[in-house]
Amino acid sequence: MKNISVQPADGRLGVLVVGLSGAVSTTFIIGTLAARKGLAKPIGSMSQLSYLKVGKGANQREGLIKDMVPLASLDQLVFGGWDIFPDSVYDGAMHAQVLQEKDINLVADEARAIRPMKACFDPKFITRLNGTWIKEGKTRWDLTEQLRADIRQFKADNQCERVVVIWAASTEAYLEMGDVHRNLQKFEAEMHNPDTTQIAPSMCYAYAAMMEGAPFINGAPALTVDFPAMWELADKTNCPICGKDYKSGQTMMKTVLAPAFHARMLGLSGWFSTNILGNRDGEVLDDPASFKTKEVSKLSVIDSILEPEKYPDLYGDVYHKVRINYYPPRNDNKEAWDNIDIFGWMGYPMQIKVNFLCRDSILAAPLALDLVLFTDLAKRCGMKGIQKWLSFYFKSPMHKLDEVPVHSLFEQDAMFRNKLREIIGEEPYDYTC
Ligand SMILES: NC(=O)c1ccc[n+]([C@@H]2O[C@H](COP(=O)([O-])OP(=O)(O)OC[C@H]3O[C@@H](n4cnc5c(N)ncnc54)[C@H](O)[C@@H]3O)[C@@H](O)[C@H]2O)c1
């Protein structure tokens, strides 16, 4: 087994959140600030609550991941970021109405002091929002230079040793990978082009982050950092990257249920998933171009689990449909319904109904915290490029063009735990026997 040498998690870790005033970001930041004061529990966070078993037989032992693995502690985190509105984390949280005022007030002063820097934004990519807190720049290159300066300034002002950049901003319009995304040279040339249709603002953040040596996490489904030019940049700058799209509610359930059908060799003829959602994310996704980005992400999950080419009788003809409807009265408390048509012995049909009344940002916040801590760990371990072991956290885990992504939550959990074992010099577990 190769030994991984891990740099210690000394000093402050800057966490720069894109979409700082949004629902996920403010829920994540306020929850983390409250947890580190002992005023709230970080429920849903693997890094803070889950145990890791290591060793075998008489040598088996276990401990909390945060005690076994050299992660940065919550006390070391310093928050900042960007938004297209100037609202502080406090005001953003009050607007989002995910957390109750009494919970926001647990850390009111700190939350008021965290204010966004001006954003890199283009309404072509998010048509439903009219931001006011926006950088000026003629080309994507100009804007990226400004983002790089922001990162350097934040790091200096807050005396941070390291920085991680995480996208928790709105979902951008669907963009196919094109020629300019194929390699870094073409991509950099395109950044100087006054025609900005091929480079989304999220790509500027990702580029700026890596050029400043910061890992980049994409919590939304857009192309952002998932194409060869960015993989090349990650390699060149020794930066870990990961995405896409936090796997929080409906898709998490899907990647639990589909492996169960597959394990039991039960057939599937249809899966209809619908959602009502009333927050700002729902409003953005009401635009067909942004919805298309989300739809592709949500639809991608079951094929690699069910292996239809191997089991055509069971999964060769699955009708899979995903809908999201903007319904303001529900705000962040999304309701998701799944109707699943399965079949069993001699082809007899059965149905399963799942009705998940979830709270979107309550589910996504711990994922954001874990991703920040684990990508910082990856950076300190010298692990660059796509972090497949973090697939656990994403609806559309990033992978190289010739690889098949792993979607089953249980396989992802096994990959995740084995990587942590490897990092601390322990043998992997064989989960197949
Ligand atoms: N909540 C979940 O369970 C979940 C799951 C998966 C993915 N996501 C994704 O996470 C993202 C955030 O979701 P949310 O519910 O917090 O949305 P939100 O609308 O509450 O917050 C998004 C924030 O991003 C800001 N923003 C938009 N474009 C920006 C830009 N170019 N630069 C800086 N800021 C920008 C907006 O002003 C807003 O404050 C969305 O893309 C959503 O699809 C959420």
* Boundaries of every domain in the chain: 12-246+361-423, 250-357
Rounded to the nearest angstrom, the distance between the alpha carbon of 25 and the centre of ligand 1 is: 8
CATH number, domain 12-246+361-423: 3.40.50.720
Task: Please give the structure tokens belonging to residue 106.
Answer: 């647990």
* Ligand 1 pocket by Cβ (under 6 Å): 18-19, 21-24, 82-85, 96, 119-121, 126, 129, 131, 168-171, 201, 219-220, 245-246, 248-249, 279-281, 360-361, 363-364
CA 121, 219, 64: angle at the middle one, nearest 5? 145
Please state the separation of Cα 83 from the chain's center in Å. Answer: 17
The pLDDT tens digits for 314-323 are 999 999 998 8
The pLDDT tens digits for 40-55 are 999 999 999 999 999 9
- The atom number, within ligand 1, closest to the CA of 395 reads 6
Helices (H) and strands (E) in the chain, counts: 17, 13
Rounded to the nearest angstrom, the distance between the alpha carbon of 169 and the centre of ligand 1 is: 3
Site to substitute for ligand 1 among 248, 281, 331, most atoms within 8 A of C-beta: 281
CATH of 250-357 among 1.20.120.80, 3.90.1150.10, 1.10.540.10, 3.30.360.10: 3.30.360.10
The pLDDT tens digits for 141-196 are 999 999 999 999 999 999 999 999 999 999 998 998 999 999 999 999 999 999 99
Rounded to the nearest angstrom, the distance between the alpha carbon of 292 and the centre of ligand 1 is: 16
**How far is CA 271 from each of CA 194, 264, 297, 320, 334, rounded to the nearest angstrom?**
43, 17, 15, 5, 19
| pTM of the shown model | 0.95
Q: What is the pLDDT along the chain (433 residues), one digit of tens a residue?
A: 667 899 999 999 999 999 999 999 999 999 999 999 999 999 999 999 999 999 999 999 999 999 999 999 999 999 999 999 999 999 999 999 999 999 999 999 999 999 999 999 999 998 888 899 999 999 999 999 999 999 999 999 999 999 999 999 999 989 989 999 999 999 999 999 999 999 999 999 999 999 999 999 999 999 999 999 999 999 999 999 999 999 998 899 999 999 999 999 999 999 999 989 888 777 887 888 778 777 776 677 888 899 999 999 999 999 999 888 898 888 878 899 999 999 999 999 999 999 999 999 999 999 999 999 999 999 999 999 999 999 999 999 999 888 889 999 999 999 999 999 999 999 999 887 6
Rounded to the nearest angstrom, the distance between the alpha carbon of 74 and the centre of ligand 1 is: 23
Rounded to the nearest angstrom, the distance between the alpha carbon of 313 and the centre of ligand 1 is: 40
Please state the separation of Cα 410 from the chain's center in Å. Answer: 18
